[in-house]
Amino acid sequence: MATLRFLAHYVRANLEVALAYRAAFAAKVFAMVVNDGIWVAFWWLFFERFPSVEGYGFRQIVLVWAIGTTAFGLSSGIAGGASTIAAKIASGDLDFYLVLPKPPVLHLVVSRMDPGGIGDALFGIATFAFLARPSAREAVAFAILVVIAASIIVAYAVATNSIAFWAGRADTIAEQAMFGLITFSTYPERLFSTPVKAVLYTVVPAGFVSFVPVALVQEWDWGWAAVLVGVAGGSLLGSKAIFDAGLRRYASGSILAMRG
């Protein structure tokens, strides 16, 4: 509970900072909504011409995008700092977080909010409500599953960014890894062959971020739901373990800086 209250305080503070520049905040949110809208428009064009591909129709792809954008939006909207860890490690900028009372990784991930993430999440929720036209059961499943998917995305960002502890500079690798996860998460699972799916359920966890949640929203399965919760919990603990292992190798940047 204390951690949740801590997160809520950080989110509120980040939101207040972002809203200090309301026009810029609104522009970023709007830009992300347009970006997502263009992709859904592409799929609309596609399915107008080919109504069904590998059992997928427009409603299925809407679910893929609704869950994907909401989960990625929540992760970068609440924990946007996760994707900045590699750069902070490389510049020796972690010192500030090491002296704080809570675990440094927790401070790092919630230290920043990406307004584009808010746009993503708003788009995902609106798309789900208006284009997927869900039943009450689907809506409840959606609300739970996007939070679980978002936690897997945050864990993935922390793990890939932590490569910087060993590699020095890893922001480009982490950026590529996140781009790969986003791309694979926004296409239907059945497009990919078995070896590719094996990668998408392990190294690049698009399977757990998108494929399993989409299947669960359509048809609930307690077994797969338990697997998903287990994967999310394991990912969070695993990524924290990777970060902590890396942190033991970290050398201070000895930077003198003012923080407002």
Partner 1 sequence: MTPRRRRGMLAHRARVIGAHAIVTLRDQGAYLGELALGGAILFVFLFVLSCLWTATFRAQESSLLGGLTLVQMTWYVTFTEALVMSRVNVARRIDEDIRTGNLAHALLRPGGYLTARFGAYLAERLVRFAFSLGFGSVVALALAGPVVIDPVAALGAIVATGLAFVLEFAIIAGIGLGAFWTEDTSSIYFLYTRVSLLLGGVLIPIELFPEGAAIVARALPFAPMIHGPARLALAPDGTGFLSVIASLVVSLTVVGTMMAVGYRSGLERLTVQGG
Which residues form the interface with partner 1 (CB under 8 A)?
A: 23-24, 27, 30-31, 34-35, 38, 41-42, 45-46, 48-50, 52-54, 172, 175-176, 179-180, 183-184, 187, 190-193, 196
Distance of alpha carbon 141 from alpha carbon 15, whole angstroms: 27
Q: Please give, one letter per residue, the 3-state secondary structure of 4-46.
A: HHHHHHHHHHHHHHHHCCHHHHHHHHHHHHHHHHHHHHHHHHH
Q: Report in angstroms how near the CB of residue 186 gets to partner 1 at its nearest.
A: 9
* CA distances from residue 55 to 59, 160, 241 in whole angstroms, order as listed: 11, 33, 40
3-state secondary structure of 56: strand
Nearer to partner 1, 204 or 228 (CB): 204
Q: Report in angstroms how near the CB of residue 27 gets to partner 1 at its nearest.
A: 5
- Alpha-carbon dihedral of residues 202, 206, 208, 209, nearest 10 degrees? 140
Instruction: Indicate left, alpha or beta for 101 from its phi (over 0: left) and psi (-120 to 50: alpha).
Output: alpha
Distance of alpha carbon 171 from alpha carbon 90, whole angstroms: 9
Nearer to partner 1, 3 or 52 (CB): 52
Q: Report in angstroms how near the CB of residue 227 gets to partner 1 at its nearest.
A: 25
Nearest partner of 84 among 171, 179, 152, 203, judged by Cα:
171
Nearer to partner 1, 46 or 140 (CB): 46
Nearer to partner 1, 34 or 245 (CB): 34
Nearer to partner 1, 104 or 124 (CB): 124
Q: Report in angstroms how near the CB of residue 208 gets to partner 1 at its nearest.
A: 18
Distance of alpha carbon 231 from alpha carbon 205, whole angstroms: 10
Q: Report in angstroms how near the CB of residue 49 gets to partner 1 at its nearest.
A: 5
Contacts of 34 (CB under 8 A, 6+ apart): none
Nearer to partner 1, 108 or 153 (CB): 153
Nearer to partner 1, 78 or 200 (CB): 200
Q: Report in angstroms how near the CB of residue 123 gets to partner 1 at its nearest.
A: 13
Residue type, 217: V
